[in-house]
Structures are given as C-alpha cells and as structure tokens.
Amino acid sequence: AEAAAAVFGEPDVLVNSAGINLRPPFGELGEEVWDTTMTVNLEAPFLLGQRFGPGMAERGFGRIIHITSQQAHRAFVQSGAYGVSKGALESLARSQAEAWSPYGVTANTLVPGFVMTPLNQR
C-alpha cells in the first residue's frame, strides 16, 4: 500500500481482486490452508481498506470494490475456506459502507458469474 501510494498518490478507488482458492476436502482442510486463504482473501482487503478508507473519507470521496464469489452464497466443488472468506468479505464491505458512506465513500461487492478456467474444469 505504501509503495503504491508513494508512486501514484492516494487512491480514490480501491479494487480488491486478488484471491486464492485451495481445495482440499473440507474434512482435510488444515490450519495452513485456512490461514493462507483468510490472509489473501480477507485480511489483505481489510488492511488495505483500513489504510485507504479513512483518507478517502477525509477527502469526501472514494470507492472500495471487493470481488467476491457465488461461493459466498452457496458451496460447491470443495470451496471450503474460499467460500467462507468470500462470505466474510461481503460482510466486511457492509461494515466499511456503514463506517464511511456518510463521508462519500462507497463499499460494494462484485460477484462474477461462473467462469470456465482450468481450476473449474472438473
């Protein structure tokens, strides 16, 4: 966040689109997979929001956009920790909206449709 702000200045728009989807069977899902998934999919957007959201609010304008997933609403293909992280990300967006919308900052989620990629082939 600091390196990007140093080069480009404070942003008006933050898009959290990075994600990781590790898929062990839920009964075999260990702490390492859980922690890695939550770090990338939830903690990073939280920390970036905490870093940039207050400045957006102070300037009176900002947009925070989180890319979530249909798996936030329904589990499929061993979505385990991924689905949980995306559901939590949607809840994070609601909390950010509640905190900063009075100051001109919106926080929303985008839920893409199913995209056929090698990860989803089966």
Per-residue pLDDT of the chain (122 residues; tens, 9 = 90+): 999 999 999 999 999 999 999 989 999 999 999 999 999 999 999 999 999 999 999 999 999 999 999 989 888 778 889 999 999 999 999 999 999 999 999 999 999 887 777 866 76
Q: What's the distance, CA 117 to chain centroid?
A: 20
**Residue 64 CA: distances (Å) to CA of 69, 71, 81, 82:** 16, 21, 23, 21
103 catalytic per annotation: no
Domains of the chain and CATH, by start:
2-120 (3.40.50.720)
What's the pLDDT score for residue 64? Answer: 98
* 59 contact partners, CB below 8 Å, separation of at least 6: 10, 12, 104
The predicted model scores a pTM of 0.91
What's the pLDDT score for residue 48? Answer: 98
Pick the catalytic residue: 38, 82, 86, 107? 82
In whole angstroms, give the CA distance from residue 24 to residue 37.
12
